[in-house]
Structures are given as C-alpha cells and as structure tokens.
Structure 1
C-alpha cells in the first residue's frame, strides 16, 4: 500500500519527493493537468510506425484518498451499471483483513470524473461495493448508480476497457492518477511470484521499471498499455525505505521462498482475471467458469 495520504502530503511538502521534474504534483484542488512525455523515435523509412493510442485522463476518477477509473469488461453492455475500480486498501470502511472478501456492501461513495485534460466534469456515485479484497490481489470494484450510456450522454466520457489477457514483460505502460492529475510512464519490468507487505500477500504482481516513481494518492490508478489503450493492472504499492516485507515496504518472494527487497521500486496488481467473474449486466458471479478471484 502507499502511505496514508496525510503522511504522503507531508513528505511532498518537506522534500518534494516523488514529484516529476517537469511538472511537480500539487494538491487536487490546485493541480493542473500534466502528462509525462515519452520520447519517440522516427520509424525507419521502410517500416510503418506501430499505432500507439494517446494515454490521457478521460475515464479516470479521483477518490477522497486514492485514484481510480471507470472500467468495463469485454462483454459489458452500454446499458449495464458502470463500475469504478480502485485498490482494496482504498475501501472507505478500512483495509480488508487477510483472507477477507467483501461483496455487495452498500456504498454511497462519490468519485470525481475527469476528462482527457484532467478537468473534473462531474460527480459519480456508488450504489454498492461489488467486490473488494486484499487477498491475492488488491482491488475494490464499485457499482455506480448510472450506466455507461448515461455517463457518455451526460459527460461525453467513455469507460476504460479492461484487458482479459495476461500482461507481457517489456510492455510500455502509463500509470494514470486521477487524484494527483499526474501520469507516470515506464515499462513492465517483470512479474513477482508473491509480493508480501505486512500481513498481506499478493500473487503474480507487476513490477515496474524504475521510471514509474508513484507516490501516496496514486493507489488505485489504472495501469494502461500504451499500445492498446487497455487497462492491464491497478497500481498499488512500492518499497519506500528499503525495509523487508513491512507496510509501505513490500518484498518479493520467489517460488523457493527467497526474499528480495528493491528499494524505490513500485508495483501493481494484474486485472486480466477480473472479467471472468462478472456476467450479464456486470453482475458479479464468483462461481463462473474461469473466475479465480478469492471468494468470501
């Protein structure tokens, strides 16, 4: 998990830690839209440059303490109730305990919906927590009171599409924080068999290359594949102080139990396994074929 927001803010004020050199993050009320520019090279004359979708803030949201995004699955329909994804540790009722899975919990939480340039265009409201856990993964999915079609009609904003295939090492990605109105661009460095932080353990986590220096408040940000524009993971933590397996200092554990600590490296949890657990009408079905999410 990222450190609590007040502590993160204090760190930023005192040290400026985590700020991008070209555009320092500011508090949400005063933040200006910013993007981390990625250098590009002209393709050789005999080749066609690959199509790369521009990654912006459209469809991302800011929570009171975290980031998130409006998401849809490959089989979602326009008239289905829309969903917002963030981290399990961003749940308003507190961190789910190890082994705990929360489903269909009433919620009226609100989310600030952003457009492509990170301007707030409206407020969305949850009707319930459809799913939340910090076991094996770190995710909360809220069901909203509006459908995708209603959001599109009112605000001109479409949901982000969730990929249903495992991400690939070396993929160029962008972490899009609605809370900070800031992006972080890097590559997927690899995958972690087990990522352990405090009492929690996550499976097959995404490790970023060092360029993604995410900070407190980026928790729950969608991790977008630059080539496809699809969400492949949800940003959730990083080793801040070089400690071993403590809160805010996750450690990597391989198949043989060997522990590795990577100070300053940040992580995300894969999301490709989530679509199989939602059926017609975006209804959660943990008994569906192919659904591997932890069950209550």
Structure 2
C-alpha cells in the first residue's frame, strides 16, 4: 500500500523540490502533461492524498464528503473484515486550488463508511456544506462516476500530498488483488508507463481525463516483485491463478457507493443490491 515508505520518499522528494522548481512551477508542469486533469477538488492529509467529492445527485446544501483509502485511517490499518460506520472523526483536511496552491482546510465530522475489505476506502463527512466550502475557499468537488471504467480509459492519478499528477490509462480490471492479509475485488490496473505511483499517493482520486469524473481511488503497487506481501500485491484471476507484476500500480472501485445510497444520499449497507461490505456480526 502506498502509505508505506512515505517518509523515506518524502525526504528524497523534499530535497529535490528545494533544489528544483517551486511547487507552483511543478504543478504547472504536471498539468501541461495531463490534459483534462488539474487539482480541482484535490485534498491532502498528514500521510496520504484525498479528494473532495460529490455524488451525481448531491445538492449544494448537503454536507460535503472527502474520500481517501481505508489504509489512510487516522487510527491505523483496518483489519480484514473490519468496517467503520458513522464513527466520529475530527480529522483536518487540506484542500487545494486548481493550480495546487493551498486553498484552506476543512474538518471531518465523522466517518460515514470505511474499510480495507473488497475495496480500500474511507468516506468522511465534513462539518460544512458544499456551498459553504465554495463560498469560503472557492473549491468545488469531483463527481463520482456511477460505473466502473472501461479498459483503455484515459486517466490521471492526482496526488494532493505530492501536488503531482500521473497520467496513463486503464489497462485491466483484476478480479482479485491480494496484499498481506487484505483482498480487494475488481481492482483497476494502470497501463504503464505514466502512473508509477509512490508512497503518499495513497487515496489519490483516479480521474477520467475525458469526463473529469472520479473513476477509482489509488491504493497500491508492487514494488519489489514479491508475491502477495505488503507493498507487493499479487493478481488472482477468475480461475485462482496468481500473477506477480513488479512495478504495476492499482486503484480500487468507488462506484459501489451508489449501490448503497438512499434517496437522501445516505449510505445504507442493508439496502438491496448494496455492493459495499457490511460490518462482521459479533456472536
């Protein structure tokens, strides 16, 4: 998972940044290489990337939502099978302007949903509305796509932590991705080169460069060519065959959120057809 080794990578990149271009110049260069993607709706956490998001049906008076990975949870990694629902949080989240400069901060109120099972996702509800954030910080959210991306879709991984944009395309949907004790389903594999993500890019939105919608959430990559270990996820096909692709990077599905939404845009894990995992029952 790309949270690992963030500090080592941060030290190396910080040195490069001090010696090289300013953050704004770096952002401009990144945008020049990434048509259809900028830092609109992008957020940074203390250890990960994130994004301010809305559903297609969201309205300005709704409390705003921020997405990151389940493994970016401020309480540490979630156990396999663990699901957080309506858990209090006061996490501070930094929002960026389209040019990657800092717009300001918002604060989480609670975690509506969080897990590292099947997908790798946390949905924070912040303590103000989309309208309030637009008025106060002039930041607008990304819209979550309602369906999984097709192979070949042009995409960008937009990291608020590094203020960096990676561009490539969707190579494939992997039936099962295993990393350490965790298993994710229908993971998005990136076509390389272009999206060689590093520590700190965890939680970055995967954005369609044609529609501008968020089509997934960046979460991991195979660093050392190991098989199914932490930082070295392995691919499992429909027949159970295991493949290792060193250097490959992956994101997880986010459209499943729509399958669990009520008419007032709340997450109901008991809704018929809901694709998100439910908390394990305790006997």
TM-score with structure 2 setting the length? 0.91
Q: CA 1:252–1:164 in 2, change beyond 3 Å: closer, same or farther? A: same
Match of 2:224 in 1: 241
Displacement after TM superposition at 1:283 (Å): 2.0
Displacement after TM superposition at 1:278 (Å): 2.8
CA contact under 8 A between 1:25 and 1:180: conserved in structure 2? no
Cα-to-partner distance string for 1:81-122 (whole Å, 9 max, x where unaligned): 000000000000011100110111110001111010001111
Alignment equivalent of 2:56, drawn from 74, 81, 85: 74
The structure with more helix, counted as a fraction of residues: 2
Distance 2:222 2:18 in 1: 22
**Would you say how many aligned residue pairs link Structure 1 and Structure 2?**
272
List alignment gaps of at least 5 residues for structure 1.
Answer: 17-23, 40-52
Distance 1:217 1:26 in 2: 18
List alignment gaps of at least 5 residues for structure 2.
Answer: none
Structure 1 residue 278 corresponds to structure 2 residue 279: no
RMSD: 1.9
Q: CA 1:130–1:263 in 2, change beyond 3 Å: closer, same or farther? A: same
CA contact under 8 A between 1:25 and 1:182: conserved in structure 2? no
Q: CA 1:26–1:259 in 2, change beyond 3 Å: closer, same or farther? A: farther
SS of match in other structure, 1:167: coil
CA contact under 8 A between 2:257 and 2:267: conserved in structure 1? no
Distance 2:121 2:18 in 1: 26
Q: CA 1:282–1:145 in 2, change beyond 3 Å: closer, same or farther? A: farther
CA contact under 8 A between 1:36 and 1:184: conserved in structure 2? no
Where do 4+ consecutive residues of structure 1 move more than 4 Å? 10-13, 24-27
CA contact under 8 A between 1:243 and 1:249: conserved in structure 2? yes
Distance 2:257 2:75 in 1: 22
